[in-house]
Amino acid sequence: MPQQRNPRLARSFYFLDWVAHGNGSYWCGMLSSEQRGVGMGRSINLEGKVALITGASSGLGQRFAQVLSQAGAKVVLASRRVERLKELRAEIEAAGGAAHVVSLDVTDYQSIRAAVAHAETEAGTIDILVNNSGVSTMQKLVDVSPADFEYVFDTNTRGAFFVAQEVAKRMMMRAGSGNAKPACRIINIASVAGLRPFAQIGLYAMSKAAVVHMTRAMALEWGRHGINVNAICPGYIDTEINHYLWETEQGQKLQSMLPRRRVGKPQDLDGLLLLLAADESQFINGSIVSADDGLGLA
């Protein structure tokens, strides 16, 4: 009896297409299976991979979990809001995916260690970490209090570091035992604000600038252990947390200043996320990739 193709994967394949130009250069682009049609390419298939996504209860984290699951990965959803994670798990399972829920407070070191251990007990050894937890405040730097500083840096920088460290330790143990799975990936979610400052979010920008440099330092030290560490720097993305802003006069003014007069959607990061998570990105390490639709040029 012929093997039945998994319809979930059939919908979710993405392809790397290489197009030769007359000047001898090549272009590599991400195309979905629907866009690609007939041609040369490689499918991104994450079957057999385990992905841990922090901050998965809403916004980008929720989208990242859905996309990785659609590509075949078993996903572990981590956040403080466990009830929201359970709802997401149900959605993923209804679509034919495999998902697990772990409670995680990235500001608590013991919670990080317990969550990573729980994740591997439930789902198996972690191949992909999407380090996505983040918070922000809007205020002038002269108004930042010690409590504000700790709130932002404990989550965005300290938390991101110790989550990555705990996962990397386990990846290295597998490498040392000779049982390492190929292509370990850590994807830190930074921000275009980590590359250039913006008014009123200077504290957030500082914390994400630290994540950018942290990514490079991790890539330098951990690459020899088979761990690729890269960062995505999103621009303005419309999520449930900030959706109200884009309806206001201030939000409309911000959009008018952007090169294409639009705010991104979470799905605009799908292709980049899949590329950095895939085996095909083995030669990409220490890269800081802006996904901002040209915001950094405005």
Distance separating alpha carbons of residues 120 and 132, to the nearest angstrom: 18
Domain co-membership, 8 together with 94: no
181 to 99, 112, 209, 227, 249: CA distances (angstroms): 20, 22, 31, 10, 50
286 to 43, 69, 105, 195: CA distances (angstroms): 24, 25, 26, 15
- What three-state secondary structure class fits 214? helix
The angle formed by the CA atoms of residues 154, 168 and 111, to the nearest 5 degrees, is 45
Q: What pLDDT digit, counting tens, does each position of 177-235 carry?
A: 665 455 899 999 999 999 998 888 999 999 999 999 999 999 999 999 999 999 999 99
Domain co-membership, 170 together with 84: yes
Residue 88 sits in a domain whose CATH number is 3.40.50.720
Mean of pLDDT values over 20-36: 38
The alpha carbon of 72 is separated from its chain's Cα centroid by a whole number of angstroms, namely 16
Cβ neighbours, 10 Å, residue 20: 9
Mean of pLDDT values over 89-117: 98
Mean of pLDDT values over 89-112: 98
Q: Are 29 and 232 in contact (CB under 8 A)?
A: no
Domain co-membership, 28 together with 81: no
Domain co-membership, 63 together with 110: yes
pLDDT at 165: 99
Domain co-membership, 3 together with 97: no
Distance separating alpha carbons of residues 72 and 215, to the nearest angstrom: 26
Classify residue 16 by its DSSP letter. Answer: E
pLDDT at 27: 36
Domain co-membership, 12 together with 80: no
Q: What pLDDT digit, counting tens, does each position of 49-71 carry?
A: 999 999 999 999 999 999 999 99
Least confident of 29-38, 86-95, 159-168: 29-38
197 to 165, 209, 230, 255: CA distances (angstroms): 27, 9, 21, 17
pLDDT at 35: 41
Distance separating alpha carbons of residues 30 and 13, to the nearest angstrom: 10
Higher pLDDT, 79 or 264: 79
Structural domain for 38, as ranges: 1-43
- What three-state secondary structure class fits 27? strand
pLDDT at 39: 41
pLDDT at 111: 98
Query: Structurally, how many domains does the chain consist of?
Result: 2
- What three-state secondary structure class fits 40? coil
pLDDT at 178: 62
Q: Calculate the average pLDDT of the chain.
A: 86
Domain co-membership, 10 together with 138: no
Q: What interhelical angle do 109-123 and 160-177 show, nearest 10?
A: 40
Domain co-membership, 152 together with 22: no
Higher pLDDT, 181 or 272: 272
Domain co-membership, 13 together with 160: no
Mean of pLDDT values over 229-250: 84
Q: Does the pLDDT value for residue 169 go beyond 70?
A: yes
Strands 14-20 and 26-32: antiparallel
Higher pLDDT, 289 or 293: 289
Asked about 204 being catalytic, the answer comes back as yes
Domain co-membership, 172 together with 214: yes
Mean of pLDDT values over 108-130: 98
Catalytic residue among 14, 151, 204, 236: 204
| pTM recorded for the entire structure | 0.84
The amino acid present at 252, given as its one-letter code, is Q
Mean of pLDDT values over 75-87: 98
Length of the chain in terms of residues written: 298
